[in-house]
């Protein structure tokens, strides 16, 4: 497991911008010298998406041949310990790793702060068209468990059911 000391040794972090930059390493051989020439002082990480339907991008940084999410590294660097839960980006921008934009949140709280998926045809989170039954279906997920809110002939009724459930379960 990566420690805070090792993290400080290999990466600089700017808490205002959320950007990680590779540190220069002691040039003990030509391979490290070549690494320093290529990477030292440059922004670390690459962008990735968790799934195909997810439009949120995140930054992953590989340290000692192991990938780490940049937002988790920012948390470790700032607070000295790994987060106990998931890290939520308050502004829903997964590449904005400024420490003020990050919070330690439960899975449920993190899911509340998500936008609709790109493959969502209804435009409303938790409401979808059931082609087999030819009506609208509403659902909500609580603690990783889906709760069926019912089937509706009217789209606005399905949206209303979802809104009531959000107030009930997320309040």
What local confidence, expressed as pLDDT, does residue 74 receive?
98
What pLDDT score was predicted for residue 53?
66
Rounded-to-integer distance, Cα 67 and Cα 57, Å: 15
Q: DSSP state, 84? A: S
What is the distance between the alpha carbons of residues 30 and 117, in angstroms, rounded to a whole number?
Answer: 47
pLDDT score of 128 = 93
Which pLDDT tens digit goes with each residue over 154-166?
999 999 999 999 8
Full-model pTM:
0.76
pLDDT value, residue 59: 96
CB 5 within 8 A of CB 86: no
The C-alpha angle 13, 15, 81, rounded to 5 degrees, equals 75
pLDDT < 50 stretches in the chain? none
Phi, psi of 140 (to 5 degrees): -145, 150
- Radius of gyration for the alpha carbons in the chain, expressed in angstroms and rounded: 21
């Amino acid at each position: 497991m990566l420690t805070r000391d090792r993290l400080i040794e290999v990466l600089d972090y700017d808490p205002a911008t959320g950007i990680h930059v590779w540190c220069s390493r002691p040039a003990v051989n030509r391979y490290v010298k070549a690494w320093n020439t290529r990477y030292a002082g440059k922004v670390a990480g690459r962008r990735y998406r968790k799934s195909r339907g997810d439009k949120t991008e995140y930054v992953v940084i590989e340290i000692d041949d192991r990938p780490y999410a940049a937002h988790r590294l920012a948390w470790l660097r700032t607070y000295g310990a790994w987060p106990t839960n998931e890290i939520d980006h308050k502004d829903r921008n997964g590449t904005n790793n400024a420490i003020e934009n990050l919070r330690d949140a439960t899975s449920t709280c993190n899911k509340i702060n998500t936008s609709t998926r790109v493959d969502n045809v209804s435009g409303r989170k938790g409401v979808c068209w059931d082609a087999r039954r030819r009506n609208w279906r509403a659902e909500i997920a609580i603690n990783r468990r889906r709760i069926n809110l019912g089937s509706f002939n009217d789209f606005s009724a399905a949206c209303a059911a979802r809104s009531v459930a959000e107030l009930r379960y997320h309040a």
